Structure 1
C-alpha cells in the first residue's frame, strides 16, 4: 500500500513546499523542523493502521474505555538525513524504541556507486511493528538494503516506510523487495531521476541541508 499525502491537501503540503523551496532551505533550522513536522503528520496517519486495544482510563470523575495503540512501534532511521524525521515520528510514538543504521553511496564514478551499510544500533525487532525513516527515496536501493540488514535482529510483524519525497521508480523497487503487506507513507512523488540517481525536482541533499555539507566518501 502506498499513501501519498500530497493528494489530500491541507497544511501538510505547506511543509513539503517549504522543504523544497531553495530560499527557505537557507535556514537549516527551518529545514530540520519541516522534516520533523512531516514526520509527525505521517506518524499520525500511520498510527491508524497499527493494532489497537481497549483500555479503561480513570479520570477524576469516573472511568472511560478508550481504544489505544496496543504496542509502541520500533522506529529505525537511516543516518544522517533521517534524524529530523525520526524525531518527528518519535514525538508521536514517544515511548518507542529506536534503531539507527548508516547507509551511504560509495561512488565508483559520477554515475556508478554501491550502497554501503557500516553501522547499526538496533534492539530486537521480532514480531514488532517496524517504521523505517528516510526523507528521500530516490532508487529504493538504500531502503531495501537497510531493511535486509535489520532482519538480522528478527522478523517484524509489519513494515512501514516513511519518506518525504520519493520517485515512482523507488516506490516500485521497494514494493518488490519488501513484504506484500508493507506500507509506504510519502509526502510527494516525483517522476524524474537523473543519471546520478538524484530526484528531480526533489529538494537537493537532505543531509547536507539539515546538517551541513559533507566530504564525499
Structure 2
C-alpha cells in the first residue's frame, strides 16, 4: 500500500489540523466541519495527480485546444457520520463522482471492548470503478476493513484510495494487512499510538460528536 502523508511537508494544512486538535477551537462545530472539508479538498487535489487522464478537444471563443481531463469513473464512499464533511470536500473537487454511503460504528460490549457494526449501505456498482473510501479517523483500522468487506458484494474496484485526516500507526499497519495491494492511503497526519480504548493519541477526540453533537452510546 502506498502511503501519501500530507504533513511530511509544511503547508496551510498545518493550520487546519492545529484547529481541529485545539480543545477550544473545536467547540465551534461549524468551523470543525469546515476544516475537515478543507483538508478533504487538499487531499483530493493531491489524489487527483494519480488519476488517469485522456485528451479532449475544447472549443474556446477563439480556437481549439487539446486538454487532458480525468477519465476514471470515481465513487466516493463515506463512512457515516463523521465522513460527511470529508465527503463534501472531496466532492467539491470531483463533482462528477458517484456517491456511496455506509454506516460503521462502535458497539461497546463493555467499557474497553467493542465491535464494529455496519448496518446501512447505499451505493452504485463498484465494478471496475476507482473507489475513494473516506473517514476522518483511522484509529484501529477495523472500520475500514469491515466496510471493505461489506462493499465486496457491489463489485471489484480497479483501484482503491483511502482518505483520512488523522491516523495511528497501528491502524495503518492493520489496513495494510487487509486491503489489496492496489490501495493508496492519503492522510493528513499520523499519530504515534492508540489508548487502551482504541482512540488516537494525541488525536482530537470523537470526530462525529465534534461535527454533529454527542450521541447515545449503543
TM-score of Structure 1 vs Structure 2, range by shorter chain: over 0.9
| Structure 2 alignment gaps of length 5 or more | none
**How far did 1:158 drift?**
0.2
Question: Is contact 1:55-1:66 (8 Å) kept?
Answer: yes
Segments ≥4 residues shifted beyond 2 Å: none
Partner of 2:64: 63
Q: How many residues align?
A: 217
Question: Is contact 1:129-1:156 (8 Å) kept?
Answer: yes
**How far did 1:185 drift?**
0.5
Partner of 2:55: 54
**What is the 5 A alignment of 1:136-151?**
136-151=137-152
| CA distance in 2: counterparts of 1:59 and 1:72, whole angstroms | 26
**How far did 1:127 drift?**
0.3
Question: Is contact 1:102-1:118 (8 Å) kept?
Answer: yes
The SS at the match of 1:180 is coil
| CA distance in 1: counterparts of 2:114 and 2:208, whole angstroms | 18
Partner of 1:39: 40
| CA distance in 1: counterparts of 2:140 and 2:164, whole angstroms | 13
**How far did 1:17 drift?**
1.0
1:50-98 alpha-carbon deviations (Å, 9 max, x no partner): 1111111111001111111013410000000000000000000011110
| CA distance in 1: counterparts of 2:134 and 2:14, whole angstroms | 19
| CA distance in 1: counterparts of 2:46 and 2:193, whole angstroms | 27
**What is the 5 A alignment of 1:1-217?**
1-217=2-218
**How far did 1:111 drift?**
1.1
Question: Is contact 1:72-1:93 (8 Å) kept?
Answer: no
- Structure 1 residues 29-38 or 146-155, which shifts more? 146-155
1:85-119 alpha-carbon deviations (Å, 9 max, x no partner): 00000000011110000000111111111110001
1:20-48 alpha-carbon deviations (Å, 9 max, x no partner): 11111010000000000000000000011
